[in-house]
Amino acid sequence: SGIKLWPCQMTMDVMGIKFGDFIDGVAKPVGAATFLDFAAEADISLFV
């Protein structure tokens, strides 16, 4: 389906969330700069 979910590393650190807490299919955490690089090449992006 082409949908990718990247969690924010800083938010995870601040909130004490572990990568294992996510459902299957979530990509490795990224920082804001990395996300912006990915989003710049996407047809549609959603930043929540």
Structural domain containing residue 44: 1-48
User: What is the distance between the alpha carbons of residues 18 and 47, in angstroms, rounded to a whole number?
Assistant: 20
What's the angle, vertex CA 41, arms to CA 13 and CA 2, rounded to 5?
80
User: What is the distance between the alpha carbons of residues 34 and 36, in angstroms, rounded to a whole number?
Assistant: 5
Total domains present in the chain: 1
Q: Give the pLDDT confidence score for residue 17 in this predicted structure.
A: 98
Q: Give the pLDDT confidence score for residue 15 in this predicted structure.
A: 98
**Partners of 11 in beta bridges:** none
Q: Give the pLDDT confidence score for residue 28 in this predicted structure.
A: 95
Q: What does the pLDDT profile of the chain (48 residues) look like in tens digits?
A: 688 899 999 999 999 999 999 999 999 999 999 989 988 988 888 777
Q: Give the pLDDT confidence score for residue 1 in this predicted structure.
A: 67
Q: Give the pLDDT confidence score for residue 46 in this predicted structure.
A: 78
